[in-house]
Amino acid sequence: MFVSELHVAKINKKHMKPHNLLKKQLLLLTLLLSVITGLRAQTVPATIDSSIYDRLNYLEEQVNYHKSGDDHFMVVGLATFGFASNSTTNILNGVSTNSKTNSLGDADHFEFSPMFLWRHGKKFLMEFEPSFSNNGLGVNWADISYFAAPNLIIKAGYFVLPFGTYSKRQAAGWINKLATDPMGLSGVPTTDYGVEVSGGLPMGSMKMNYDFALTNGSQLNADGTLSGGNIVDNNNNKTLTGRLGILPFSNSSLELGVSGMFGKVGTPGMINERAKGNMYAFDLNYVKTFIPFLVNIKSQYNIVNVSKVDYVNPVDTTTTYSFDNHSTNAFVQFSIRPTGIQALHDLELAGRYTTYNTPVNSTWGSDQSSYSVGLNYWMSWRSVIRFTYEKYTGNSTASSVLNAYTGQTKSNTFYLQFSIQL
């Protein structure tokens, strides 16, 4: 019995040792935490409110437990490089002059534009695209988008205006079918500071999209032209720009759009302070495969009306002059690509006709037209080599009284261009 009790006592003692050790460890851990807490409390300045300190701790915890995949960063962009050879003839008062130029880089169409995209969660997207072109560094756009709902995107910052479709959807070098842009699109400012809402809605077998922006607006210059994109507005009025598009076919092959831009363009206290701008655009986009060819047709027609106001005479600044500030420009573009013919599917034939008519009796009035033809070789779906020939004719309608009449100008230009989307 004694042996049995002794054996049991040894067994109990053996099993008690781990429990005693655990108690000692817990005691040491409690003392250590007490010391750390005391030291930590001493490092908090007495002037900091405890609630602020709690919020700081919360932010630290959020950083420590930040989930990978909540944020995404990407660098994309585009680059365009080319060679241009030009011959221009001007006829003024029966005298003809001719000039020839050629350049590597092509100052009007060289561009290097990296685009930085940062997505925060599933709701926010930041875009920033600087651009180096024509010996200068600028910004194409810089904005933040909030994806509020499946059919609603809210944007704020510096962005491309929803006027027509070319500037917003087709101007990128690797998207455009020809080496040049259609004339006259710069007659309406294409970028501005403001807020924008856009989205799309189903309509049975059809679809529609909308895009509206409220921005600082355009400014009327001393010669009657318009400029925009200023972060400080020149008046207390804001400009409303909007576009509605409809895709009437279930296969979305055709899109028809109508745009408007309305707002004051004059500057208070200036001779043009009452001037308003009313601008309209109509566009068409048709893309469809007729085996073995892919057909692509694009067109846009712009109307620009600015209130008739007085301008300071550049010849005699003590007098003024006036004119009907009405401009129109239009282009129609066609391309065809034999995607179904293996030996030719990387080639594309393109052509475009453009007209641009600016105000008669202004200092910049002219009736202009051009046609362009080109052959494209697609190295990949986002890189292309272009051969483009463009013929231009311009007849001045500017005021002779203001010494602005320039006669007739004709030019022929050949472009060899490479463009890539990065």
pLDDT tens, 247-261?
Answer: 999 999 999 999 999
Containing 35, the helix (H) or strand (E) segment is helix 2-43
Q: Which pLDDT belongs to residue 392? A: 97
Rounded (10°) CA dihedral 81, 190, 74, 196: -170
* Range of weakest confidence among 1-10, 64-73, 310-319: 1-10
Place of tokens 């917003």: 168
d(CA 48, CA 163): 53
Q: Which pLDDT belongs to residue 27? A: 54
Which pLDDT tens digit goes with each residue over 15-28? 444 445 445 555 55
Q: Which pLDDT belongs to residue 174? A: 82
User: Comparing 280 with 35, which gets the higher pLDDT?
Assistant: 280
Per-residue pLDDT at 374 exceeds 90: yes
Q: Which pLDDT belongs to residue 160? A: 95
How would residue 306 be classed by pLDDT, with cut points 50, 70 and 90? very high
Containing 289, the helix (H) or strand (E) segment is strand 276-290
What number is the average pLDDT over the span 314-334?
Answer: 95
Torsion sign over Cα 312, 313, 317, 318: negative
Per-residue pLDDT at 142 exceeds 70: yes
Per-residue pLDDT at 128 exceeds 90: yes
Q: Which pLDDT belongs to residue 55? A: 59
Residue 47, token pair as written in the block: 């002037």
Which pLDDT tens digit goes with each residue over 43-64? 444 444 555 556 566 566 655 5
How would residue 86 be classed by pLDDT, with cut points 50, 70 and 90? very high
* Range of weakest confidence among 56-60, 219-223, 235-239: 56-60
Per-residue pLDDT at 30 exceeds 50: yes
Q: For residue 202, how many C-alpha atoms fall within 13 Å in the half-sphere facing its CB?
A: 5
Q: Which pLDDT belongs to residue 51? A: 58
Per-residue pLDDT at 88 exceeds 50: yes
How would residue 322 be classed by pLDDT, with cut points 50, 70 and 90? very high
How would residue 196 be classed by pLDDT, with cut points 50, 70 and 90? very high
What number is the average pLDDT over the span 374-401?
Answer: 95
The fourth-level CATH superfamily of domain 71-421 is: Porin (2.40.160.10)
How would residue 179 be classed by pLDDT, with cut points 50, 70 and 90? very high
Containing 57, the helix (H) or strand (E) segment is helix 50-64
How would residue 209 be classed by pLDDT, with cut points 50, 70 and 90? very high
Q: Which pLDDT belongs to residue 247? A: 96
* Percent above pLDDT 70 for the chain: 83
What number is the average pLDDT over the span 150-163?
Answer: 96
Per-residue pLDDT at 41 exceeds 50: no
d(CA 272, CA 266): 5
Contacts of 18 (CB under 8 A, 6+ apart): none
How would residue 31 be classed by pLDDT, with cut points 50, 70 and 90? low
Contacts of 164 (CB under 8 A, 6+ apart): 185, 243, 257, 259, 281, 283, 300, 302
* Percent above pLDDT 90 for the chain: 70
d(CA 349, CA 59): 58
Domain boundaries, the chain: 2-64, 71-421
* Range of weakest confidence among 90-94, 127-131, 186-190, 316-320: 186-190
- Letter string b/e over residues 42-60, b meaning 16 or more CB atoms within 10 A of that residue's CB: eeeeeeeeeeeeeeeeeee
How would residue 246 be classed by pLDDT, with cut points 50, 70 and 90? very high
For 154, list phi and psi in degrees, rounded to 5.
-110, 130
Per-residue pLDDT at 84 exceeds 50: yes
Residue 422, token pair as written in the block: 């990065």
User: Comparing 134 with 291, which gets the higher pLDDT?
Assistant: 291
User: Comparing 134 with 319, which gets the higher pLDDT?
Assistant: 319
Q: Which pLDDT belongs to residue 43? A: 44
d(CA 98, CA 85): 14
Q: In whole numbers, what is the pLDDT of the chain averaged over residues? A: 86
d(CA 353, CA 328): 14
d(CA 270, CA 250): 52
d(CA 165, CA 167): 6
